[in-house]
Amino acid sequence: MPIESPFDEEIPIAVRLLLDDGGQRAVHTSSCLIAFGALQMRGWQIHRVTPRPENFSDRDAYLLKINYDLLLEPGAPGPSWFEVGFAMSAAVVVDAIPGCVLEPQQPKSYVPDPFLVFTPGVGVSLPVTYPMVDLFGIGGPEVRWRHTAASAGGVRPGAYTAWATLVVPAGCAELAVDITARFDLSAGSEAAQLYEPTAEPANVVLKLPDSMSVLERTLRPGRERPAARPPQTPRVFISYTHDDQAHLEAVLHFAEFLSARCGLDVHVDRWDLDRRRNWYLWAIDQITAADFVLVIASADCKRVADGKLGGLANRGMQSELSVLMDQLHNDRDTWLGKILPVVLPGHSAAEIPLFLQPGIADFYVVSEYTVDGAEDLLRVITRQPIHARPQPNSEVVRLPNRPWT
């Protein structure tokens, strides 16, 4: 049964992590579930954002803090990764932290801006965050965090903290949350060979407070309103090859960063799998509608574009790059500035296709999925040069005549 809980109260609920032996062991004639651990929910906090942000005038906004502990049975090996997800009825998750974490991050403090996006400031705090962390689900009803081990020892057990901003229909009194979890064991380990990881979902009903909390009162005074967004948000299409699973996930992290952190209108194939499509026509629509097309450099991308990987391989990318080549050939002045070669972490400029002229035209190296790490690219997309052109004097300088010597 769902458990009702008022604001900031301990929630005695956990997602049980189990191992399924699949009936493989001789002592069993049928599948057997074995306790592996649990994800224990602890002390959620819900803060109403008041006054209601004008950008969400028809909905109520909330700040949600989620605490969860990874508990493992004695002697259980640390999972190579675990993921926890929170699906919230009638809610839309606007932003969440931590985002993509590739290296240890010291404690940080944030404040939600008028668009409910977390920005640096004094308000809510995150403790030390260890890699790897992946964030999924911004813009939908479910938010998920995946924690991946940085070493062979597995993911560390213990406490984890996350925050999310969300909106619900005006007057909504409670929030039903379905909590799910997934995990995996180190590939090739004895446990991984014998057992299939599984988990039992849980659910909870949270009462939504109708008054401002102490935390909210600390967020409001003196908070400067950031500059308004430009009238038209830049539309970005990401074109890439599916070299391997790691590259696919890296591109998705990059897309989520551009959308959730940078406020761009991002389009990528993995977000349009809701129905059967003619992908060739889809690619043409995306390319022609985009303000910028980001071509992600990789080994397969270069081989496809340079004609070294023909036949039936990467037919989708062959189509996309053919359209881009055609556009560039027909209107070089326009498309040279619209097609932006991008080099993600772990790749190099040597993987940029030759038709994009990496030796004589600009390309953009993203060192990490942060504003600083992608600054050069973001400045081009948002038309924000690093140096402002000075206002010229209204009169051209006049120089005196000099006698012949």
- Asked whether the beta carbons of 26 and 40 are under 8 A apart, the reply is no
- Asked whether the beta carbons of 83 and 144 are under 8 A apart, the reply is yes
Give the whole-angstrom CA distance, residue 160 versus residue 144: 13
| Secondary structure of 142-208 in HEC code, one letter for each residue | EEEEEEECCCCCCCCCEEEEEEEEEEEECCCCEEEEEEEEEEECCCCCHHHHHCEEEEECEEEEEEC
Topology at the third CATH level for domain 235-381: Rossmann fold (3.40.50)
Give the whole-angstrom CA distance, residue 162 versus residue 134: 12
Please identify which residue in the block is written with the tokens 């940029």.
Answer: 352
Give the whole-angstrom CA distance, residue 304 versus residue 49: 50
- Asked whether the beta carbons of 169 and 59 are under 8 A apart, the reply is yes
Name the β-bridge partners of 238: 294
Alpha carbon distances (Å) from 136 to 42, 94, 100, 258: 22, 12, 9, 13
- Stated pTM of the model: 0.52
pLDDT at 297: 95
Give the whole-angstrom CA distance, residue 160 versus residue 204: 19
pLDDT at 30: 59
Q: Which residues are CB-contacts of 383 (< 8 A; sequence separation ≥ 6)?
A: none
- DSSP codes, 253-274: HHHHIIIIIT--EEE-GGG--S
Give the whole-angstrom CA distance, residue 118 versus residue 100: 14
Please identify which residue in the block is written with the tokens 């070669």.
Answer: 341
Go through 336-364 and write b for each residue having 16 or more CB atoms within 10 A of its CB, e for each that does not: eebbbbbbbeebeeebbbeebebeeeebb
Class of domain 3-219: mainly beta
pLDDT at 25: 52
Please identify which residue in the block is written with the tokens 């993911």.
Answer: 155
User: Edge to edge, what strands does the sheet with 108-112 contain?
Assistant: 118-120, 108-112, 124-126
Give the whole-angstrom CA distance, residue 241 versus residue 314: 7
Every domain of the chain and the residues it spans: 3-219, 235-381
β-strands 59-72, 81-88 pairing = unpaired
- Asked whether the beta carbons of 84 and 180 are under 8 A apart, the reply is yes
pLDDT at 178: 93
Low-confidence residues of the chain: pLDDT under 50: 1-10, 26, 28, 211-231
Give the whole-angstrom CA distance, residue 122 versus residue 216: 11
pLDDT at 32: 78
pLDDT at 313: 65
